[in-house]
Amino acid sequence: MSAPTPIGLVYAITQLTAAGKSAREIGQQLGISPRTVTRWRTKPVAEPAPETPATTWTDKALCRFDEPEVFFNDRYLGAARATCRTCPVRRQCLALALTAEGTLSKHNRYGVFGGLTPEERAARAQAS
Ligand code: SF4
């Protein structure tokens, strides 16, 4: 089975490339190496679904283009974090994920939300 393409990340890279940013600039913005930018920039991916008017913040989530595995498998943690870093609704996503802290046992919380792992969210919630 091949690794899933992080479509949200590729989409972000494509948008930043179209805006005239170099691989180095995109890498700095997304927290990934220029080599990774170049690798995904040349990867053919299906166009994201046509934009429809957003009715809720989740309609703007960059991860809606991705296979869930990108956000629920540690192998793809870097891609998930980079996608979240450029997601327009990261603040809302993280706020929602942090409200779940304390309502589920640690072992029932999985995945990257708002760019943070379950352990990082737990630490953030404890600190506040
Ligand atoms: S910040 Fe949240 S909504 Fe945005 S890509 Fe990451 S997990 Fe998805």
Give residue 50's pLDDT.
58
Q: How far is the CA of 37 from the centre of ligand 1 (A)?
A: 19
Query: Which residue, by CA, sits nearest to atom 8 of ligand 1?
Result: 63
Q: Which atom of ligand 1 is nearest to the CA of 97?
A: 2
Residue pLDDT, tens place only, 23-53:
999 989 888 889 988 988 877 666 556 566 6
Q: What is the DSSP string of 31-47?
A: TS-HHHHHHHHTS--PP
CA nearest ligand 1 atom 3, residue: 61
Q: Enumerate residues lining ligand 1, CB below 6 A.
A: 8, 61-63, 71, 83-84, 87, 89-90, 93, 113-115
Task: Please tell me the predicted confidence (pLDDT) of residue 92.
Answer: 92
Tell me the CA distances in angstroms from 26 to 3, 12, 36, 126, one per residue in order.
23, 9, 10, 33
